[in-house]
């Protein structure tokens, strides 16, 4: 009888014991090695963005500066921040925290999960107009970077529920992936009522958090494909000495050579693979797109709250949209000016004053590489802000004055023309 029972349950018991040893044993992978962090800094790997182990090791160092953004970070050209830092031996290395589909909500979780490693640190944040569509972040983009690890970390650290936490709880419940987790939904409903989870709930979540953290330590490198070789190859196209005028001419030369098969100053490869076959369908197709009204403004406020809590010093970069393309597709210039006004107000009203606003730089040739991403001269212009910002030592910690009204639907839907100080 005992042999039969062991034959039935023995493998299950053994597997459980082995899994427990695997998850809770003290051994660690070399996540904090120089080589791993260097590779991770340009990988924009999903596990790196959704995890904590590698990201937080990098942010804890003095060498790496977080560059928050989205798909523009993945396009490595000679004027990309990682290339310029490598070529000219800057005293920092960008750690790219963004990829196609990452937006404010994802960024806010990456910031809050940094575990204090952004405290008084400098940050570069590239804010894309196309995030601010009517519905905010798409389900597919949210799902791609959904991190139970970072969500449980947020909940278990709650000592008091603030308005930002209530907004986040409500916002998470908008997404089908979250709604599938009945236990998490129950906790989020408590938080939106300004209630801290019970001790038993917190105990369960801490156990879950420990397991997820262990998985992150063990598997964080999986799927991490570094762009380090691409960065090094691009450095060979740059002069040995940094000279702004020479680099500006070179950016124009490379941009011109790279945009020969279309009239939009769009990179040849991008145009051929993404636009050429259906170019006629894009004529006038964006005349109804509007970036002035979106839940993204409140998602962005989550990120601002997190940055302010860390007293991080942040440089915000606002890129323009390709003028030739927006003219062809009917994307409204007035609307784009309204977007810039609204997001700048949200920043400046709360004390975020380091803003490189390029939304008006639409007439500079080769400023954009495609329809919406910074190009050769665009990255070079950004570097005129980035380099001195990261070189200068802060005189005193920044002082922010956060305003919870930016979490409201009223703000999300406010016409920028009506902004007259209601939120000051």
Q: How many separate domains does the chain show?
A: 1
Residue 14's pLDDT is 43
**110 belongs to a structural domain:** yes
- Residue 41 CA to residue 227 CA, distance in Å, equals 9
Mean pLDDT value of segment 1-18: 49
Residue 13's pLDDT is 56
**308 belongs to a structural domain:** yes
pLDDT tens per residue across span 289-342 = 999 999 999 999 999 999 999 999 999 999 999 999 999 999 999 999 999 999
CATH of the domain at 376: 3.40.50.1110
Residue 328's pLDDT is 98
pLDDT tens per residue across span 52-70 = 999 999 999 999 999 999 9
**215 belongs to a structural domain:** no
Is the pLDDT score of 422 beyond 70? Answer: no
**290 belongs to a structural domain:** yes
pLDDT > 90 fraction of the chain, expressed in percent and rounded: 88
- Residue 45 CA to residue 59 CA, distance in Å, equals 16
Q: Mean pLDDT across the chain, nearest whole number?
A: 92
**75 belongs to a structural domain:** yes
Is the pLDDT score of 115 beyond 50? Answer: yes
pLDDT band at residue 203 under the 50/70/90 scheme: very high
Q: What is the residue range of 395's domain?
A: 30-132+226-418
Buried b / exposed e across 30-54, counting CB within 10 Å, b at 16+? ebeeeebbbbbbbbbbbbbbbbbbb
Residue 221's pLDDT is 86
Is the pLDDT score of 180 beyond 70? Answer: yes
The residue that leads in pLDDT, 31 or 171, is 171
Decide if 108 contacts 303 (C-beta within 8 A).
yes
pTM for this prediction: 0.92
**200 belongs to a structural domain:** no
- Strand arrangement, sheet containing 93-97: 93-97, 64-68, 122-126, 313-318, 355-357
- Residue 106 CA to residue 100 CA, distance in Å, equals 11
Decide if 143 contacts 88 (C-beta within 8 A).
no
**155 belongs to a structural domain:** no
The residue that leads in pLDDT, 223 or 49, is 49
Is the pLDDT score of 373 beyond 60? Answer: yes
Q: Which residue from 247, 331, 333 is spatially nearest to 289, judged by alpha carbons?
A: 331
**84 belongs to a structural domain:** yes
């Amino acid at each position: 009888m005992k042999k039969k029972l062991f034959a039935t349950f023995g493998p299950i018991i053994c597997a459980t014991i082995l899994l427990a040893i695997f998850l809770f044993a003290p051994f660690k992978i070399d996540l904090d090695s120089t080589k791993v962090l260097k590779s991770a800094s340009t990988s924009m790997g999903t596990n790196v963005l959704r995890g904590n182990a590698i990201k937080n090791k990098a942010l804890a160092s003095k060498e790496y500066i977080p560059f928050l953004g989205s798909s523009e970070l993945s396009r490595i050209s000679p004027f990309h921040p990682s290339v310029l830092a490598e070529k000219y031996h800057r005293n920092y290395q960008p750690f790219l925290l963004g990829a196609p589909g990452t937006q404010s909500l994802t960024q806010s979780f990456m910031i809050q999960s940094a575990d204090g490693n952004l405290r008084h640190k400098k940050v570069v944040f590239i804010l894309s107009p196309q995030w601010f569509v009517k519905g905010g972040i798409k389900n597919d983009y949210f799902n791609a970077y959904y991190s139970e690890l970072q969500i449980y970390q947020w909940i278990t650290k709650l000592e008091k529920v603030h308005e930002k936490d209530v907004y986040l709880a409500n916002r998470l419940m908008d997404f089908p992936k979250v709604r599938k987790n009945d236990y998490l939904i129950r906790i989020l409903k408590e938080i939106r009522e300004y209630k801290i989870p019970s001790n038993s709930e917190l105990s369960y979540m801490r156990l879950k958090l420990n397991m997820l953290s262990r998985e992150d330590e063990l598997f964080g490198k999986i799927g991490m494909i570094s762009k380090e070789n691409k960065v090094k190859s691009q450095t060979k196209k740059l002069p040995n000495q940094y000279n702004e005028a020479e680099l500006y001419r070179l950016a124009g030369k490379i941009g011109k050579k790279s945009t020969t098969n279309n009239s939009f100053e769009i990179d040849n490869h991008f145009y051929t693979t993404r636009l050429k076959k259906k170019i006629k369908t894009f004529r006038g197709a964006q005349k109804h797109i509007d970036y002035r009204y979106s839940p993204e403004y409140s998602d962005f406020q989550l990120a601002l709250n997190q940055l302010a809590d860390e007293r991080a010093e942040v440089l915000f970069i606002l890129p323009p949209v390709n003028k030739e393309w927006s003219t062809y597709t009917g994307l409204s210039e007035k609307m784009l000016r309204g977007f810039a006004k609204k997001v700048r107000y949200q920043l400046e009203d709360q004390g975020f004053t380091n803003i490189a606003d390029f939304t008006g730089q639409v007439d500079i040739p080769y400023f954009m590489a495609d329809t919406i991403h910074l190009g050769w001269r665009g990255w070079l212009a950004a570097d005129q802000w980035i380099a001195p910002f990261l070189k200068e030592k802060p005189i005193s910690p920044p002082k922010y004055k956060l305003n919870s009204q930016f979490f409201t639907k009223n703000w999300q839907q406010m016409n920028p023309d009506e902004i007259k100080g209601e939120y000051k």
